[in-house]
Amino acid sequence: MKNVVEFKGVTKHFKDFSLEDVHLQIRQGCVTGFIGANGAGKSTTMKLMMNLLKADAGDINVFGLDYASNEKEIKERMGFVYDSNVFYESLNLKDIRRIVAPAYKNWNDKQFFDYIKKFELPLNKGMKTFSKGMQMKASLAMALSHDAEFIMMDEPTAGLDPVFRRELLDILQEIMEDGRRTLFFSTHITSDLERIADYITFIQKGKILFNDSIEDVQNRYALVKGSMDVINRDVEKMFIKIERSSYGFTALTNDVAGVKAVLGDRVTMEPATVEDIMFYAKGAEKQNV
Ligand SMILES: Nc1ncnc2c1ncn2[C@@H]1O[C@H](COP(=O)(O)OP(=O)(O)OP(=O)(O)O)[C@@H](O)[C@H]1O
């Protein structure tokens, strides 16, 4: 499988935050969800991906090309989809089309008008009248109209009502069907991942903790429950984090086979959700999550 984006040893330092030695691959034809707590470094990573920020060290390739000599080609082939209006508020979609279309070699007018109709967007109303969801759809219509192969979205479903959210996720699933596009989106809504993502990239404090298929993530982690008397130093080493209560403990493990072998039926194990993994990984006792 080819990678649309590759980060090799990418580092970016701010005064109080660093992205450290990031290695990341985004697989072609797949949907990758990008998760991590507030301030973990998601927007910084996406800005580096779009060359809006320059890395202090490391290499970033998009479509196998580097920004230094191929910025125009990369930007032609990628689309960043956002939910805020970057145009004058009084402009409508017809005006915006007139401004945006000439910037792209591959602009397809028919596609644009088809998507505007499909997304039920008004052509003649000022962008200031658009809700967050409508802005998102308008931005997506534009990315699809210049035939972006790689679509990046920053929290596409944040602030959308549940019906609209589902509709947008269905649209995203539909545009992925022909296998030509790659989608990378950040989110705090973990149910979105379970609905549409093939891969999950998890960032914590500027470090990528994993970048794996949903299936691998689900197979690797489990929640373990039991009474405190099974806990000792060796058992603790198999857990990423342990939550203790008067009833016993609940812990996240990434060593399912080890826990089974050592503790057997003295504990119960259940699948960990992405939300469980994020919760337990925060302040983890174990180094390798
Ligand atoms: N230009 C900048 N100068 C200094 N610090 C910055 C800059 N941009 C981001 N940061 C810091 O880098 C850290 C990571 O920010 P980033 O926006 O990448 O996080 P995020 O994961 O996208 O968070 P959220 O989920 O809240 O949007 C934060 O502590 C932020 O304050």
Best mutation site among 14, 185, 208 for ligand 1, i.e. most ligand atoms within 8 A of its Cβ? 14
Tens digit of pLDDT per residue, the chain (289 long)? 799 999 999 999 999 999 999 999 999 999 999 999 999 999 999 999 999 999 999 999 999 999 999 999 999 999 998 777 666 778 899 999 999 999 999 999 999 999 999 889 999 999 889 988 888 889 999 999 999 999 999 988 888 888 888 888 998 999 999 899 999 999 988 888 888 999 999 999 999 999 999 999 989 999 999 999 999 999 999 999 999 998 999 999 999 999 999 999 999 999 999 999 988 888 665 556 6
pLDDT value at position 285? 59
- Closest residue by Cα to atom 1, ligand 1, is 14
The set of residues, in sequence order, having a beta carbon less than 8 Å from that of 193 and lying 6+ positions away, is 33, 35, 187, 200, 214, 274
Structure tokens at 104: 């792209």
Question: Which atom of ligand 1 approaches the CA of 53 most closely?
Answer: 1
Condensed to tens digits (0 to 9), the pLDDT of residues 189-237 reads 888 888 899 999 999 999 999 999 999 998 999 999 999 999 999 999 9
Which of 203, 193, 197, 253 has the alpha carbon at shortest distance from 226? Answer: 253
What is the CA(217)–ligand 1 centre distance, in A? Answer: 26
Cα separation, 214 vs 273, in Å, equals 10
Cα separation, 131 vs 257, in Å, equals 49
Taking CA atoms, 176 is separated from 75, 115, 149, 168, 173, in Å, by 20, 15, 10, 13, 5
Cα separation, 72 vs 40, in Å, equals 29
Taking CA atoms, 232 is separated from 221, 240, 256, in Å, by 20, 14, 17
Domains of the chain: 3-217 (3.40.50.300), 221-282 (3.30.70)
Q: Which residues line ligand 1 (CB under 6 A)?
A: 14-15, 17, 36, 38-44
pLDDT value at position 289? 66
Cα separation, 284 vs 125, in Å, equals 50
What is the CA(11)–ligand 1 centre distance, in A? Answer: 14
Please identify which residue in the block is written with the tokens 């401004």.
99
Q: What is the pTM of this model?
A: 0.90
What is the CA(16)–ligand 1 centre distance, in A? Answer: 9
Which of 100, 4, 13, 25 has the alpha carbon at shortest distance from 53? Answer: 13
Question: Which atom of ligand 1 approaches the CA of 45 most closely?
Answer: 18
- Closest residue by Cα to atom 26, ligand 1, is 38
What is the CA(39)–ligand 1 centre distance, in A? Answer: 5
Best mutation site among 18, 34, 44 for ligand 1, i.e. most ligand atoms within 8 A of its Cβ? 44
- Closest residue by Cα to atom 17, ligand 1, is 43
- Closest residue by Cα to atom 11, ligand 1, is 17
The set of residues, in sequence order, having a beta carbon less than 8 Å from that of 39 and lying 6+ positions away, is 17
Phi, psi (deg, nearest 5) at residue 217: -65, -45
Please identify which residue in the block is written with the tokens 């699809």.
144
Best mutation site among 15, 17, 282 for ligand 1, i.e. most ligand atoms within 8 A of its Cβ? 17
Cβ–Cβ < 8 Å for 138, 67? no
pLDDT value at position 11? 97
